[in-house]
Amino acid sequence: MNNKSPVNQLTNSPINQEGGFTLIELLVAAGIFAIVITAVSGIFISSVNSQRKAMALQATQEASRFMFESMAKEVRMSVLNTNTNTNTNTNTSISITNSDNVSLNYAFSGGKLYRADRQISPDNIEITQGRFRVEQLVAPNPEVVKITIVMAVRGRGTKIAEQTVLNLQTTVAQRAQKK
């Protein structure tokens, strides 16, 4: 039986038979690990930012839609008191008499929407542009008034990525007629 350990041919010294990694192998492995961790961290941070932006957009849409639809419903079932002498009135406020026979105003002012001098827009959004376009229909029913409500809404997020902007518009034909 041969008990001699293998010898390095270049240096004529015995080769160490213990297992392990060389310094080069460790540096290469650490470099690859660092690249993988950096890539995964970037993907994670990007997905967290995308989720924050999506949640901010959802909150802005929800608040805007509720405010928009409740106003449109009341305007649809009301009689318009605002003058409609011209075919293309564009106003920041309108005056109506609602189905309970109460006269009130809707007005865009200072980044908010007011109903009868009471703010109805939530604090987490700012209305950057709001107007009412009032049109008297000519045919088939000239007594019907068409009101287009236009709003540009910005969510008030704490970070720039969370500040969303929405442009909303709806047109309402009044069901109630002046008596």
Which tens digit of pLDDT belongs to each residue from 91-122? 899 999 988 899 999 999 999 999 988 999 88
CA distance 101 to 78: 9
Q: Which domain holds residue 35?
A: 23-173
- CB atoms closer than 10 angstroms to residue 63: 18
In a domain, residue 108? The reply is yes
**Sign of torsion over alpha carbons 8, 13, 17, 20:** negative
In a domain, residue 73? The reply is yes
Report the domain count for the chain: 1
In a domain, residue 5? The reply is no
Q: Kindly tell me if the per-residue pLDDT of 60 is higher than 60.
A: yes
User: String of b and e for 104-143 (b: at least 16 CB within 10 Å)?
Assistant: bebbbeeebbbbeeeeebbeebbbeebbbbbbbeeeeeee
Q: Averaged over 61-89, what is the pLDDT?
A: 80
- Model-level pTM greater than 0.75? no
Q: Kindly tell me if the per-residue pLDDT of 2 is higher than 90.
A: no
Q: What is the pLDDT of residue 5?
A: 62
Which range (11-15, 44-48, 58-62, 130-134) has the least confidence? 11-15
CA distance 78 to 172: 11
Please give the sequence-ordered ranges of beta strands (E in DSSP) within the chain, or none if there are none: 79-80, 89-91, 93-97, 103-109, 112-115, 118-119, 125-136, 145-155, 165-173
In a domain, residue 62? The reply is yes
pLDDT confidence band for 6 (50 / 70 / 90): low
In a domain, residue 140? The reply is yes
pLDDT confidence band for 44 (50 / 70 / 90): very high
Q: Averaged over 166-176, what is the pLDDT?
A: 85
In a domain, residue 8? The reply is no
DSSP state of 175: S
Average pLDDT, the chain: 84
Q: What is the pLDDT of residue 115?
A: 92
